[in-house]
Amino acid sequence: MGKAVEFIKMTRPLNSVMTGAAVLFTAFVINRYAIKSVSSILIGFLTGFLISSASMLINDVVDLEVDRINKPWKPLPRGLFNPRSVEYFSMASLVLGVLLNTLSNPQALLTAAAYSIIAYAYNFLRNKWFSHFFVSIATTGPFIYGYSLSMSSGERFVFIALFSAVVFLINTSREFVKSIADEIGDRAKGYQTVTTVFGRELAAKLSLALAISGTLLAIVIGLAGFARSLYTVILGLSGAAFSSAAVKVLRRPVSEVAQKARKTMMYSMLFALTGFLFSDFP
């Protein structure tokens, strides 16, 4: 039972559930909260969850040596699992997540396949500083995939595209904070990140600039009439909390502060996701 729990932790269940939920929320928003197909809802959630879990698992395998320094408490550094077995399980989850969409529509299948490649590619480009952007592109996946799954005729495309831009900006901000938190292990193993290449101070400044830009864009989307007032309020509050965490990192760009900030940022993103769900509530 203990090992099962540890394995589940490796899939980052909060991240993976958020990914699956983002797909569902997108379908709900596009379809005006009507459930047109229970099977599509199940396929959408499972696709998001499985592809996210697969990416998290392969990340632990690729980052094993770095995690021995940065996060020795994680299951793989502690020797709880065979890395090769985790890798196989990850690949099986990825393939299953994509192939589920043979039961939906070609557009959804192609979108799921494209984003799964992006999510996986990041892990093998982990030693390049621009890999941060691969993560952020992958994070927009649930919304673009959710749109393709809904078979929309084009309605609300602009809103989904703009909100995906918000997600890209905000996630990149968090990625830069994460690079500060993981600096010691990344330097020891020769990984290039925005912090190891350009320095902690610049990484913190860029993180705050992206956080503010993402928050402002999210608010403008609401004020421009693409979403209702409840969305604007929630996105404004979550953006303020997110940006506040980025400010703390800028004031003291060290690993301990960045570790706390990235958690605050994750919870802020979860809150923002509820705002997205309520974007069309009357």
List pLDDT tens digits, range 45-62.
999 999 999 999 998 898
Q: What does the pLDDT read at residue 153?
A: 63
For residue 236, the model assigns a pLDDT of 97
Question: In the CATH hierarchy, which top-level class contains the domain 1-126+138-146?
Answer: mainly alpha
Average pLDDT of the chain?
91
Q: Where are the domains of the chain?
A: 1-126+138-146, 156-282
pLDDT of residue 265: 96
Find the range with the poorest average confidence among 6-15, 31-40, 143-152, 186-195.
31-40
In the CATH scheme, what is the code of domain 156-282?
A: 1.20.120.1780
- Specify the range with the lowest mean pLDDT, choosing from 21-30, 153-162, 209-218, 219-228: 153-162
% of the chain surpassing 70 pLDDT: 99
Across 46-50, 64-68, 156-160, 276-280, least confident range: 64-68
Exposure string for 22-43, b = 16+ CB within 10 A, e = fewer? bbbbbbbbbbeeeeeeeebbeb
How many CA atoms within 13 Å lie on the side-chain side of 95? Answer: 6
Q: Which of 10-19, 170-179, 255-264, 268-277 has the lowest mean pLDDT?
A: 10-19
